[in-house]
Chains A and B, each alone.
Chain A
Amino acid sequence: MTRRIALAVAWRSIHNFLTNPAFLLPGILFPLFFFTAFAGGLSAISGAPGFDFEGGYTAFQFVFVLLQSAAFGGVFTGFGIARDFEVGFARRYLLAATDRRGIVLGYALAAFVRALITWTILTVVALVAGMEIGGSAGEIVALYVLAVLVNLSATLWSAGVAMRVRSIQGGPLMQFPTFLVLFLAPVYVPLSLLSGWIHAVASVNPVTALLEAGRGFISGDPTVVALAFAVAIALPLAFGLWARGGLRRAEAAG
Chain B
Amino acid sequence: MSGGLRTQVGQLARRSVLRTMRQPAQIVPSLIFPLFLLAVNSGGLKSATNLPGFPTDSYLTFALAVPFMQGALFSVMNTGTDLARDIETGFLNRLALTPLRGAALLSGLLAGAVVLGVVQAGVYLSVGLIAGAELAAGFGGALVIVALSVSITVAFGTIGLFVALRSGSGEAVQGLFPVFFVFLFLSAMSLPLDLLETDWFHAIASANPVTYLLEAFRSLLIEGWNIGDLALGFGIAAVILAIGMFGASRALKTRLVRT
Which residues of chain A have a CB within 8 Å of any CB of chain B? 26, 29-30, 33-34, 36-37, 39-45, 47-51, 180, 183-184, 186-189, 193-199
Contacts and interface: CB of A to CB of B under 8 A. Distances in A.
Nearest to B29: A172
Contact of A37 (B36, B39, B186): B186
Interface residues of B, number: 28
Query: Interface residues of B: mostly helix, strand, loop or mixed?
Result: helix
B191 A40 contact: no
Interface string B154-175: 0000000000000000000000
Contacts of B40: 183-184, 187, 198
Nearest to B45: A188
Given A42-B191, A44-B197, A198 B178 contact: no
Contacts of B39: 198
Interface stretch (B9-17, B46-54, B78-86, B240-248): B46-54
Given A30-B178, A47-B51, A48-B50, A41 B44 contact: no
B198 A43 contact: yes
Centre residue among A26, A41, A50, A198 by max chain B CB count within 10 A:
A41
Tell which of B36, B39, B196, B197 has the most Cβ of chain A within 10 Å. B197
A42 B190 contact: yes
Given A29-B178, A33-B182, A33-B185, A43 B197 contact: yes
| A interface majority secondary structure | helix
A37 B195 CA distance: 14
A198 B37 CA distance: 12
B91 interface: no
B235 to A, nearest CB: 25
Interface in B8-32: none
